[in-house]
Every structure is written in structure tokens, then in C-alpha cells.
Amino acid sequence: MRRQLEGSQAVAQTVARCRPQVVSAYPITPQTHIVEGISRLVRTGELNGCEFVNVESEFAACSVAIGASATGARTYTATASQGLLYMAEALFNASGLGLPIVMTVANRAVGAPINIWNDHSDAMALRDCGWIQLYAADNQEAVDLHVQAYRIAEQLSLPVMVCMDGFVLTHAFEPLEVPTQEQIDEFLPAFEPRQVLDPDEPMTIGAMVGPEAFTEVRYLAYAKHIQALDTITRVAEDFREHFGRSSGGLLESHRSTDAETVVVALGSVFGTVAQVVDELREQGVSIGALAVKSYRPFPAQELSRALRAARRVVVLERALAVGGGGIVSADVRTALWRHPVDVHAVIAGLGGRAITRRSLRALLDRAAGGKLGEVEFLDLRRDIVERQLEPAAGAERPGPHAESILRELGAVRAEPV
């Protein structure tokens, strides 16, 4: 039964129906509605047999999850942005220990300048921490991915991040189908941990490993992620059979199979991209779109196959590698190393700036005309940056660009009163 629900509330209800036994969380916008929802469900008893631990930091949130998961409890936490970075050390640890924690990341920009709105800077900064990263295109998929995440995590003994765009998804109301308790119980078997702290079978977890075996341990982590490509695919197929709708998987194609130009994107912008693709198709443009649903593990072979016919790939990047350029496009280029394809990184929608159909159409027109550079910034306000980049501009007032720009715009006083 579809109900009009906020994304966060739908995720909270879904996670609760996955029967987590320990939920630890620390508030950060825009993740808060999810954990508020879960704490309420624990409080009312709707979610039975679950300990909700109000911790003092995201670092502790992940650490509590580590302890709980190692004790054999199904575990959940959620965070965003600075919070994700604050738990960075614990994230590497959780994956290194092979603990199947599931976490929602309500994707948000990372400061400075501080910014609470959506982009993928947070998850991208932690892309190599060993967690599986799944990206939801809409709220129904966000809901469904959480159910799949527990299956994938517990099957592989690996932690999974479900990335959903902050505000754009977390705070959006849509008609959504929240799986019933019976459906989830049928799809998701009880958690049987691979390793558990138990006095009946004392076990040491987290021992030191030196040069004699560290490479092998890391290789096994790599091999497990390769294995995960298969698991993610099978779990998505199984989900479709159980629930009658498609969600998750590795990639999703929208008219990309025979397209000359393919736009690659992660997350909620995919809907807008697909719309623009349809508009351009009507005009006879050979264009398609490809959503990367699983960014870690990165489905390089599948992507390479999917882009076989493409001559031009435009990667919409919701994050920026300062000093480098695109992030996802680097993975795409690596995947396409055998193909003579132009790959363009388009940095777009940073810090919550809307990616509009109009902007995308202008961008893709330029792409079709072969006018895109290697790295582009969508809707960059040239007037602002050029003033700042003038040789003399920064000299008198060294300091953060953000404050300098605000002075330029008259938003703050240029001189002390």
C-alpha cells in the first residue's frame, strides 16, 4: 500500500522492520529525521528488542555499532557530512573487522565553508574506507536499498552505506511503499554473525598484523568487494521477485544501450537526467543515461559493457577532488581503458545548488557539439570567481574565499563599523 511519506520516515520505518537490535546515532542535519523516527519506534515499543543508544559523537556512534555488531547484534546508524568524516577512522575499522553494519548517509556537503545542503562530498571522501556504497535515485529506492543492504552486509560480513541525497530525498514527501513486516521477515533471514564475542567460544577480534600478512589481508578485502558485485546483483534480483519492483543492483540504464552520448550519474539527479534524455531523444539526439547504483564496489566491467557503444561520456559529479577534478569520472575512465571514449567530468550541484533541466540541456548541447572540456563546472558564476581570482584581489585581505565573496556581494560589511 502506497502512502504519502517523508523519505526519512519511510526509511526509519523500513529500518525498524529490519529488526535492528542496536541503533546508535548522533544528530546531524539532514539525517536527523531518520534517527528521530527510529528512536520513537523504539520508545513506543513498535520496534521491540532494540537498544537505542544516544551517543556523544559520530565517532562513538560507529564505535558502539562496532561493539554491538561484534557481539552478534544487527546494527544500524546514520549520519551525514562532517559526521561521516568524524567517524572516518571507525569506518575503516568496521570494514577491516568485517562487521555488517548498515548506515544511512544523508549526503551533504563538507565544510568549510559550512553548508548543510546536498552533494556527495561526504561519501566520496570515504569512498575507499572499505564499505559498500549504494546510491538511491529516489525515496522508494532508498527504502528498498536498506532492506537489501542488510542481506548484502550479512551475507558478505561487510558494512554497507546507503547513500540518499540530503533534503532532496530525506525531506521529500512522495507516495511510497514501505515493505510490511511479513515481507521483510520473509526476505531477510535472522542475523547469523560470522564472528561473535561470546564467553562460550572466546575469540580475539582486532589483532595486529604486520608486513608478513597485511597485503594479503587487504587483498582479501579487495576480493570480497569483487564478490560483492555478484551478491548485490543477486540480492536485487531476489528483491524484484519478492517485492515486484526493481531497486538497487549495480547499474541502471535509461536509453543508454545504443546512445552516442551517455550521462553517468549517482543519486537523485538521475530522474532529472532521464527527463532531459527523453526530451533530447525526441529531437533525434542519440543520448542516454546510466545510473551507478553501486559505487563501491565499482562495477567496472559492467559499466564498460554498458558503454560499449558510447563515443562520449559525461559524468555528473556531485563532489570535487580539489587538485584533481572529477572523482567518479576517474573510475569511469579506468573502467573504459580499452575504449577510445571521451570522458568529461562535470562538477554539478555542489552544496545544494539545483541541477536544472535547462542547465543540463545547455550542457548536453555543448557536449554534442564537442565543446566540453575535461573538467567543467555546471552553472559556475564566473562573475564571482573572476573577481576573486584577479591578482590584486586577495592580496590586501588574505583569508577564506567565502568571507571575501560575501564582502563582494555586500552581504557582510567590508569594514568594521
What is the binding site for another protein (CB under 8 A)? 21-22, 24, 49-51, 53-57, 59-60, 63-73, 75, 89-90, 93, 97, 197-199, 201-210, 212-213
Q: Which residues are CB-neighbours of 182 under 8 A, at least 6 positions away?
A: none
**Spatial CA neighbour of 99 closest among 205, 27, 202, 184:** 205
- Closest approach, Cβ 73 to another protein, in A, equals 4
Which residues of 10-111 form beta strands (DSSP E)? 22-25, 51-54, 75-79, 102-107
Of the pair 45, 416, the CB lying nearest another protein is at: 45
Of the pair 42, 328, the CB lying nearest another protein is at: 42
3-class SS of residue 142: helix
- Closest approach, Cβ 85 to another protein, in A, equals 15
Of the pair 71, 275, the CB lying nearest another protein is at: 71
- Closest approach, Cβ 197 to another protein, in A, equals 4
- Is residue 10 within 8 A of residue 180, CB to CB? The reply is no
- Closest approach, Cβ 181 to another protein, in A, equals 18
- Closest approach, Cβ 192 to another protein, in A, equals 13
Of the pair 50, 291, the CB lying nearest another protein is at: 50
Of the pair 50, 124, the CB lying nearest another protein is at: 50
Residue 366 CB burial class (10 angstroms; 0-12, 13-18, ≥19) = middle
Q: Which grid coordinates belong to 169? A: 530525498
Residue 139 to residue 173: CA distance in whole angstroms: 9
- Closest approach, Cβ 329 to another protein, in A, equals 33
Describe the strand order of the beta sheet including 75-79 as a list of residue ranges: 51-54, 22-25, 75-79, 102-107, 160-165, 132-135, 294-296
Of the pair 202, 340, the CB lying nearest another protein is at: 202
Of the pair 82, 286, the CB lying nearest another protein is at: 82
- Closest approach, Cβ 92 to another protein, in A, equals 9
Of the pair 31, 75, the CB lying nearest another protein is at: 75
- Closest approach, Cβ 179 to another protein, in A, equals 22
Kindly report the three-state secondary structure assignment for every residue of 89-132.
Answer: HHHHHHHHCCCCCEEEEEECCCCCCCCCCCCCHHHHHCCCCCCE
3-class SS of residue 262: strand
Q: Which grid coordinates belong to 25? A: 546515532
Compute the CA torsion angle 93, 97, 98, 104 (nearest 10 deg): -30
Residue 73 to residue 95: CA distance in whole angstroms: 16
